[in-house]
């Protein structure tokens, strides 16, 4: 067995609503706000598209000819050869790590960010270097200081999971300008569709200017397709040719591709969802306890507290399943009625607990 596996754990999905109800003796409904899914689900056109594509389930998927590749290429104004699909963005992260990293190589990222960058680096026998967040934000100056001649991949999650915070276009561009050309800089934009800030990076522009940039996105969050497992990278063609060698031949299913295609084509629905999300997020950003939460450009908030487990348990008893971290709790937006109740519950929590 690879020795480094002893440092790692299999992904812990958390207890199901039923298990939690039993554990905490709860009678009422429990809402899962722990994984940043879009509770409204995908565009109704997705269901229709899936139903219309049930007759050829016996064929292997023609991954290279997916219509969604054409759709995305037009939508993003990039070449089809610049798009690479994976079974969720998670798989794309794994394939990139497997393609690039050799034992002794280094990856660089921040503490308190998406865990898969580090996880796959360790499996590939690479070293992981991280710097602390600065007031909840990636600290690119500190990260720059950690670059060595072994650094191969730099992962920037923007907006960041779990804090919801983001770095501006200029901040990221001035960083990339300084980074040596042979280091790949990956910008994970899993939440980009939710972002409203004016200075949010135009990452595709960065990609066209700097060959070393890779942009990562998914259908799992704003598009509401987490169950379908489809995400993608946009990058220069020579890198994608290498990823293609490592990729399993049929890594994305035909129905996921059909679902993604229908979802991307319905931008009206996406806009409705993301606007609704923003209204809900702003209720929290303006709440009485606002000093406890980071400014979020996503569909979740990060509540800072010295007693995350206390807050987590408190929320469970109110019927909310959330995600605890060492210094806080991450809460996904639910439906309006959930969020309004959540606001009240958090108000009471911070009135009765002073941290």
Residue ranges binding ligand PLP (CB under 6 A): 36, 88-90, 114, 157, 161, 188, 190, 218, 220, 226, 231
Q: Where are the beta strands (DSSP E) in 206-327?
A: 213-218, 231-234, 300-304, 320-321, 323-325
What's the closest the beta carbon of residue 226 comes to ligand PLP, in angstroms?
Answer: 5
What's the closest the beta carbon of residue 352 comes to ligand PLP, in angstroms?
Answer: 31
Which one, 189 or 280, has the nearer CB to ligand PLP?
Answer: 189
Residue at token pair 């890779």:
214
What's the closest the beta carbon of residue 203 comes to ligand PLP, in angstroms?
Answer: 14
What's the closest the beta carbon of residue 175 comes to ligand PLP, in angstroms?
Answer: 18
Which one, 43 or 287, has the nearer CB to ligand PLP?
Answer: 43
Which one, 38 or 318, has the nearer CB to ligand PLP?
Answer: 38
The 8-class DSSP code of residue 291 comes to G
| Length, in residues, of the chain | 355
Distance CA 201, CA 167 (A): 8
What's the closest the beta carbon of residue 283 comes to ligand PLP, in angstroms?
Answer: 22
CB atoms within 10 A of CB 326: 8
What's the closest the beta carbon of residue 188 comes to ligand PLP, in angstroms?
Answer: 5
28 touches 337 (CB < 8 A): no
Which one, 31 or 230, has the nearer CB to ligand PLP?
Answer: 230
Spatial neighbors of 159 by CB under 8 A, at least 6 apart, are 165, 166, 189, 191, 192, 194, 195, 296, 297, 298
Distance CA 110, CA 326 (A): 15
Which one, 30 or 157, has the nearer CB to ligand PLP?
Answer: 157
Which one, 126 or 157, has the nearer CB to ligand PLP?
Answer: 157
| Chain residue whose CB lies nearest ligand PLP | 88
Which one, 117 or 350, has the nearer CB to ligand PLP?
Answer: 117
Distance CA 90, CA 354 (A): 38
Residue 242 to residues 87, 92, 305, Cα–Cα distance (Å): 17, 12, 44
What's the closest the beta carbon of residue 26 comes to ligand PLP, in angstroms?
Answer: 27
CB atoms within 10 A of CB 250: 13
**Nearest CA to 172 among 182, 161, 185, 184?**
185
């Amino acid at each position: 067995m690879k020795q480094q596996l002893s440092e790692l754990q299999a992904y812990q999905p958390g207890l199901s609503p039923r298990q939690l109800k039993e554990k905490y003796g709860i009678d009422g409904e429990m809402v899962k706000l722990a994984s940043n899914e879009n509770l409204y689900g995908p565009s109704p056109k997705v269901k229709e598209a899936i139903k219309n594509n049930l007759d050829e389930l016996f064929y292997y998927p023609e991954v290279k000819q997916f219509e969604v590749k054409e759709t995305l290429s037009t939508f993003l104004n990039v070449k089809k050869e610049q798009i690479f699909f994976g079974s969720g963005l998670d798989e794309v992260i794994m394939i990139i790590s497997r393609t690039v990293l050799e034992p002794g190589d280094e990856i660089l990222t921040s503490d308190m960010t998406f865990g898969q960058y580090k996880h796959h680096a360790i499996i590939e026998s690479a070293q992981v270097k991280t710097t602390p967040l600065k007031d909840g934000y990636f600290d690119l100056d500190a990260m720059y200081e950690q670059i060595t001649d072994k650094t191969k991949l730099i992962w920037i999650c923007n907006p960041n999971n779990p804090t919801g915070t983001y770095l501006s276009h200029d901040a990221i561009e001035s960083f990339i300008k300084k980074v040596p050309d042979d280091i790949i800089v990956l910008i994970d934009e899993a939440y980009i569709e939710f972002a409203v800030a004016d200075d949010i990076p135009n990452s595709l522009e960065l990609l066209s200017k700097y060959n070393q940039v890779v942009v990562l996105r998914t259908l799992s969050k704003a598009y509401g397709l987490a169950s379908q497992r489809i995400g993608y990278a946009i990058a220069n063609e020579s890198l994608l040719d290498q990823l293609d060698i490592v990729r399993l031949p049929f890594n994305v299913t035909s129905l996921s591709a059909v679902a993604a295609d229908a979802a991307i084509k319905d931008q009206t629905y996406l806009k409705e969802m993301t606007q609704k999300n923003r209204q809900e997020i702003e209720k929290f950003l303006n709440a009485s306890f606002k000093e406890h939460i980071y400014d979020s450009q996503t569909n979740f908030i990060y509540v800072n507290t010295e007693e995350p487990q206390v807050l987590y348990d408190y929320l469970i008893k109110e019927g909310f399943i959330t995600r605890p971290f060492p210094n806080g709790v991450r809460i996904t937006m639910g439906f309006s009625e959930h969020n309004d109740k959540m606001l009240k519950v958090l108000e009471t929590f911070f009135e009765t607990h002073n941290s």
